[in-house]
Chains A and B, each alone.
Chain A
Amino acid sequence: MSTPTTKATATAVPANKASFGQWFKAKGWRHLVAIAATAFSIFPLLYVLSAALNPTGTMAGASSLFTEFGTGNFQELFANQERPFGRWFVNTLVIGTVTSAATVFLGAMAAYAFSRMRFTGRRVGLLTLLLLQMFPQLLTVVAIFLLLNFIGDIIPALGLGSQLGLIMVYLGGALGVNTYLMYGFFNTVPTSLDESARIDGASHVQVFFQIIMPLVTPILAVVGLLAFIGISSEFVIASVVLTDPDSQTLAVGLYSYVAQQRSENWGVFAAGAVLAAIPVMTLFLFLQRYITSGLTAGGVKG
């Protein structure tokens, strides 16, 4: 704690009606800092909202925020046939949901094995996962591209341009940090629970689905949500795999809007950005508390 805090706690207690100076030392400066930080945080977000609503549509148009209002940018966004925003939105939802659901399932199965069973190679397995997650998949984007190119020659449905292929690639990163997070949480569920269930005749599958899974729901939600947020922002691999505009995700599609003519398409892009951000931000704020506790356990962004 910095200087003013301790002094303040020492002095502020006896004087009930403190002077402005005392109040400022104790709390006022904190409000100033808070207002400055909040302004820094939300200013760009207000800007993009304002640009989305501004009918001028170009970057140069606005000299102050929220002066003009119109829905022209949104209409143009959905009317553009070459850049099907609606499709991108659905694609992102589908790819994100399928991948995060599968990630949660694969991760939970692995965490169950690591937490509840003792087998040779268990420690080595955990260590390997911990090490492998230091090497994110985007480093191998060239190899992934060439691999999918090859797979596409054998099974076109899984090759370049296929969303299923992309989901499979993402699932390569399903274990790694997720298993590690879940493993820690699984360990907090007392083993006596599944032991007694086993004695009552439950099979290992029943223990997994009916005893463990309901008890670890919070970590499943956190892992699933973090996976969804990560995938909906993933650009590198998606941009290389999905070439056809109809199959692209929001990250790839919206980038194409401003890759060439950043200034001209600005309003439409801003409209797309607002719509793209809303679901993710809503989810995030809704589950904020869980995420925060999950974060301190090891998830990283920024």
Chain B
Amino acid sequence: MVEIEVKPEVSLALPGGRKPSKNGRGPDSLGGILAKIILLGITDAVAAFVLFQLALSAEWLIFGISLLTTMAINWIYLRRGGLPAKYLAPGVIFLMVFQVFVMIFSTYIAFTNYGDGHNSSKEDAIASIQLSASERVPDSPQFPTSVLERNGSYFLLVTTPEGEAKLGGAEEPLHTVTPSATGPTGAAAGVEGYGTLDFATLLQHQAEITSLSVPISANPEDGSLKTADGSTSYVYTPKLKYDANADTFTDTATGVVYSDDGRGSFVAADGTHLNTGWKVNVGLENFERAFTDPNLQGPLLKVIAWTFGFAILSVATTFALGLFLAITFNKADLKGKKFYRILMILPYAFPAFLSGLVWSGLLNPEFGFINNALLGGAQIPWLTDPVLSKVSVLMVNLWLGYPYMFLVCTGALQSLPEDVDEAARMDGAGAWKIFTAIKLPLLLVSLAPLLIASFAFNFNNFNVIFMLTGGGPRFDGTTFDIGSTDILITMVYKIAFGTGTGRDYGLASALAILIFIIVAAVSALSFKKTKALEDLN
């Protein structure tokens, strides 16, 4: 549209036919150049720091990507021309990382067993198993010990039977040091740069100190030093011994062998798992589980049905009430119209997360204002009955959503042509006929995109559900914390971050992918139906 109007002007103004938007021809002002240099300098300094840190932690893939991004940014802003990129780059970078990349990353997580107990790589898991289950080596020597502190971390300073002073912490294996102070028995008691804990401080931090385990060397199999009282420590070796060749753990006491089951855990012949596992790809298992595991299948299908029901009914109820009120108020000489209007749209201005919480108080079955005061002590289970809780959720969402529909419908009604109305009346149509046959279809045409957007919004309307009922009342027959009013997004949140069954990022992401697919299908359909795409030029 704009293009067509503009082009002739451009060719008139610039007979040479040069496109004015390419190459900032006029020299930039000094201030502009300075601002550019400073901003680019800051970006590069931050980038250099990030790259350095990435190199230190040997994250080479991400190092490569960051390096390329940094180079691209410099190229975009230092070359002449390529103006659109200069304006688009900042927003697009954030979009790529925190919207596009996280979507791809979600898809990746959905195909892993990432979650509690499967957090890291196999090497980390092996090291952690070796450290966690340990026992004192029988008849091993005692080490006179002092507990030192630096920057909030604790260290053990021990004197070996050979009289050598050694220092180590949770993150750094024992190494020889020169003590700066010695105790009454001749054992090392202090080192430069560290503070020695006195008895009172020891008691105060007892839990942290007794759980401190200092590796004797970089090899975890050599065992570690632990202290129970802060004055002597002993050598502990892993109760589970790792055999690198066979890739198995053997319990030194019972002889039970745990081997890699290929699914991110060490498992014994009788099926017992070691608690710490690692992250592996599990293919479609999360999706299979969601639809076949009896613990999950039933609730999930109910949740999907309710998600659709909630979204559709929310749009229908808010639109119906909003439209009705818009019609009621669509009369120019109604007294107090402005006053009513302001009060009516207040719920729309009220923060959405608070609405759910406030209504949860109003509807509370025991103490709530509605039961206690308005209904004179009735015990109506607004939020705890499976059916009634759904009604309550819809009612609260109606309260939240109808002012928006009212505003939108008012706007649309006022833009309808008056003459259509008159022509229909001339032809003898009644008011109801005019409304259903002429006005409503016209309204729906102009409001369809907004209704679809409203559906999409309510499909993921986390705040109302989570704040009002928390998804409850819970379903029977499942160990998951899912209930009658849960929609897919609250279920994802609870599976990933809820308390109870442990965090399961893989499953949660698989469910999020399911939402992606549904939303994509709905928007594809709606884009086809509406003319949204044709407006773009």
What are 14 A-B interface contacts by the 8 Å CB criterion? A1-B435, A3-B432, A37-B344, A127-B536, A145-B496, A171-B94, A171-B98, A174-B95, A179-B91, A203-B27, A235-B467, A258-B360, A284-B349, A302-B397
Stretch from B150-158, B177-185, B304-312, B404-412 contacting the other chain: B404-412
A148 to chain B, nearest CB (A): 10
Interface residues of B (CB under 8 A from A): 1-3, 5-6, 9-10, 13, 20-21, 24, 26-29, 32, 49-50, 53-54, 57, 59, 83-84, 87-88, 90-92, 94-95, 97-103, 105-106, 109, 114, 318, 324-325, 327-331, 334-336, 340, 342-355, 357-362, 364, 366-369, 372-373, 397, 399-405, 407-408, 411-412, 421, 425, 430-432, 434-435, 439, 449-450, 453-454, 456-457, 460, 462-463, 466-467, 489, 492-493, 496-497, 505, 508-509, 512, 515-516, 519-520, 523, 532-533, 536-537
Whether the pair A187, B512 counts as a contact (CB closer than 8 A) is no
Q: Which B residues touch A213, using CB under 8 A? A: none
Q: Which A residues touch B351, using CB under 8 A? A: 229, 232-233, 250-251, 276-277, 280
B272 to chain A, nearest CB (A): 29
Whether the pair A172, B99 counts as a contact (CB closer than 8 A) is yes
Whether the pair B336, A2 counts as a contact (CB closer than 8 A) is no
Bound Cα distance A119, B89 (Å) = 14
Q: Which B residues touch A168, using CB under 8 A? A: 94, 97-98
Majority SS at the chain B contact face: helix
**Most chain-A Cβ atoms within 10 A of its Cβ — which of B20, B91, B412?**
B91
Q: Which A residues touch B358, using CB under 8 A? A: 44, 47-48, 270, 273
Given the interface contacts A34-B329, A131-B523, A142-B512, does A172 sit within 8 Å of B489 by beta carbon?
A: no
A230 to chain B, nearest CB (A): 9
Bound Cα distance A284, B404 (Å) = 13
Which A residues between 164 and 180 are near B, CB-CB below 8 angstroms? 168-169, 171-176, 179
Majority SS at the chain A contact face: helix
Q: Number of contacting residues on A, CB 8 A?
A: 119
Q: Does A109 contact B (CB under 8 A)?
A: yes
Q: Which A residues touch B533, using CB under 8 A? A: 127
Given the interface contacts A47-B362, A154-B50, A191-B5, does A143 sit within 8 Å of B460 by beta carbon?
A: no
Bound Cα distance A158, B205 (Å) = 30
A-B contact count (CB 8 A): 346
> Which residue of B328, B335, B361, B515 contacts A33 across the interface (Cβ within 8 Å)?
B328
B12 to chain A, nearest CB (A): 10
> Which residue of B84, B346, B402, B497 contacts A113 across the interface (Cβ within 8 Å)?
B84
Q: Which B residues touch A285, using CB under 8 A? A: 342, 349
Bound Cα distance A146, B88 (Å) = 27
**Most chain-B Cβ atoms within 10 A of its Cβ — which of A64, A199, A258, A301?**
A301
A59 to chain B, nearest CB (A): 4
Whether the pair B431, A5 counts as a contact (CB closer than 8 A) is yes
Q: Does A80 contact B (CB under 8 A)?
A: no
> Which residue of A42, A58, A117, A134 contacts B21 across the interface (Cβ within 8 Å)?
A117
B231 to chain A, nearest CB (A): 35
Given the interface contacts A64-B373, A172-B97, A300-B453, does A142 sit within 8 Å of B357 by beta carbon?
A: no
Bound Cα distance A119, B84 (Å) = 7
Q: Does A101 contact B (CB under 8 A)?
A: no
Q: Which B residues touch A172, using CB under 8 A? A: 94-95, 97-99, 102
Bound Cα distance A136, B456 (Å) = 10
